Amino acid sequence: MISLQSLRSRWQRLLLRPLPFLLLLALLPMGGLSFFVYSYTNSNLEKEIGMLNTQSLNKSKDALDTVFREIDRLAVQLSLEESVRYFLLAHDADSLHNAQYKSIIGTMSMFSLIYDYIDSIYIYSDSNNNALTSTWRGPIEQLTDNRWYEEYLRNKDQPVDRWYQSRKLRKEDSEYPYLISLFRPVKLYPPQSVGLIVINIDVEKLGRLMGNMELAASRDFFITDPAGTVFYNSDLHLISRSIRELPFFLPETLSSGAYSKLLKLEGQKQFLTVLESAEFQWRYISVVPLEFNMEKKQGLLAFILIFLLLYVAVSVVLSGLVKTAESKRRLKEKLKLNQLTLDKVQAQALQSQINPHFLHNTLETIRIMLIKATGTLHSPAETMLTALSEMLRISMETKEYLIPLSDEIEHCQRYLDIIQIRYQGKFAVEWLIPGELRHHPVLKLSLQPLIENAIHHGIKPSERKGLIRISASLEGEELVIEVEDNGVGMSREQMELLNVQLRAKCEVDDSHLGLNNVNQRVKLIFGNSCGLSILSGLEQGTTVRMVFPATS
């Protein structure tokens, strides 16, 4: 049996060992822990960066899908013009009056002016074998850019609504821009085609449009067709090349489905992310070096490593081997704190993915429980829950960004049901919207922020009873919606500053973020001719005017 004296003697001999041995004894376990923490943290950061790259690629995909969807809508709109139909069906192109040609050219020129990235528009008629552009008309054989004609002949009677092609046009002494061309056959009597609409998109101008999105404007962002041919990249030399020729190509790059993978290319770790556009049958691909994003996270890793090294040094020099147990306990607490920090970041990321349908169902369950508990069917709390549940349902009902004005009104009425209970007669609402305008499409969730702005910035600060008047009217080819309040208004200088900011597409001050959000979305989808404007005066109320194209 070991005596107490023997244990004391062994402990003293241990304390008298050379300092290098003590340092080595302390550094070995702490070094192992440091390596474990670094590896674990780095692995989690790589997963987070992969998720961020996927989110960024999704934003670029949604923005470009919106652009191409708008181009397709313009082609359909052009084919429905009366003068265009007359040209398509006329057996003799010379039978058109000058006024009809001017009408067609005016429409094409307007589209090219509004949408800066549109390079040119062609219209071709099967009946008279003539092509028409904004600057030229004549037989298709004489059109300089007519290499697409043979492909059109092969596809015109096929069940194909549209197709896209990456093209580069040349002239003898100069070079035309790189283009992405939309070809949409005009089938007035399906399935037979009577002609073709061609809209040419300038790739460089499209890239400038996407310039505010760092990923989409970089050379590491690609759009390819199903065969793997690149038809969009900021580096024009890569356009029309096969993605099989590029260093990051993997067989699964052209397979079905979306994925993100960390690869080692040219001695560097890079994230390869692929998403599919089900609507346009092509793929969005990004290749982003890991270090590009890791720089934003290196501070956390450096902090953990420096902290652990300093902790070991201080523990060894000041406390020695006697305090090793206490040092390990404190280290575990710090590791636990770091783990909780990582868990919090991951929880926040997961929280953003909660399905809105769960919220809708939960609100409905609470409403039923409230009715059972109070025995009252139409209490203010039950009414507010019902209205909030309906607002969620309406916002989730469709993924389309355009909805009938009647649906937008219904969403606003649910919002007003909630606000009226909260303010209890502080204001009244008048709806002056003719029934024949309620079927017109408007931007989803665009009217409610204007009403909320009127309540919080106009009615709420005012001492008199408020009135909000919501009206709609047609002004030529525009649908105009106005939200007017009799609140405190604003000075002429404030009004002019807000209008300048809205026209300039820059950030509006924090107190009017709702207006800026709506204005930016309207301009992105419909162009700079649409959007918001403000008319106001001190103690004279405020009117917010919102303009959409009048399309039924």
pLDDT in tens, 395-435: 655 567 788 999 999 889 988 888 888 888 889 999 999 99
Lowest average pLDDT, out of 109-113, 125-129, 141-145, 288-292, goes to 288-292
pLDDT at position 351:
41
Where residue 184 falls among pLDDT bands split at 50, 70, 90? Answer: very high
pTM: 0.48
Give which of 427, 435, 491, 418 is closest to 454, Cα–Cα.
Answer: 427
Q: What are the CB-based long-range contacts (under 8 Å, 24+) for 527-535?
A: 527/114, 527/115, 528/114, 529/114, 530/478, 531/502, 531/503, 532/450, 532/502, 533/499, 533/502, 533/503, 534/495, 534/498, 534/499, 534/502, 535/495
Length of the chain: 552
Give which of 152, 166, 163, 182 is closest to 229, Cα–Cα.
Answer: 166
Q: Is the pLDDT of residue 361 over 70?
A: no
Cβ contact 212:202 at 8 Å: no
Contacts of 450 (CB under 8 A, 6+ apart): 483, 514, 515, 518, 532, 544, 546
pLDDT at position 517:
84
Cβ contact 262:269 at 8 Å: yes
Lowest average pLDDT, out of 72-86, 297-311, 402-416, goes to 297-311
pLDDT in tens, 443-466: 888 999 999 999 999 999 988 899
pLDDT at position 289:
72
What's the rounded Cα separation, in Å, for the pair 110 and 548?
16
pLDDT at position 450:
94
Cβ contact 124:198 at 8 Å: yes
Cβ contact 202:118 at 8 Å: yes
**34: three-class secondary structure by DSSP:** helix
Q: Which helix (H) or strand (E) holds 102?
A: helix 98-114
Cβ contact 433:479 at 8 Å: no
Per-range mean pLDDT, top range of 19-33, 189-203, 299-313: 189-203
pLDDT at position 349:
34
User: Mean pLDDT across the stretch 115-130?
Assistant: 92
What's the rounded Cα separation, in Å, for the pair 240 and 250?
18
Where residue 328 falls among pLDDT bands split at 50, 70, 90? Answer: low
Amino acid in the structure at residue 83: S
What's the rounded Cα separation, in Å, for the pair 285 and 276?
9
Q: Is the pLDDT of residue 354 over 50?
A: no
User: Mean pLDDT across the stretch 89-109?
Assistant: 87
Q: Is the pLDDT of residue 151 over 60?
A: yes
The alpha helices in 185-247, defined as continuous H runs, are 203-209
pLDDT in tens, 262-303: 777 767 777 788 888 877 778 888 887 766 555 555 555 565
287 phi, psi to nearest 5 deg: -125, 105
Amino acid in the structure at residue 47: K
Percent of the chain past pLDDT 90, that is, above it, reads: 23
**Diameter of the chain measured on Cα atoms:** 121
Cβ contact 169:179 at 8 Å: yes
Question: Going by DSSP bridges, is the β-strand pair 441-443/402-404 parallel, antiparallel, or unpaired?
Answer: antiparallel
Give which of 133, 232, 247, 236 is closest to 175, Cα–Cα.
Answer: 236
Q: Is the pLDDT of residue 239 over 50?
A: yes
**535: three-class secondary structure by DSSP:** strand
Q: Structure tokens of 455? A: 């309540």
Give which of 449, 545, 411 is closest to 457, Cα–Cα.
Answer: 449
Per-range mean pLDDT, top range of 26-35, 243-252, 406-415: 406-415
pLDDT in tens, 464-506: 899 999 999 999 999 999 999 999 999 999 999 999 988 875 4
Cβ contact 230:164 at 8 Å: no
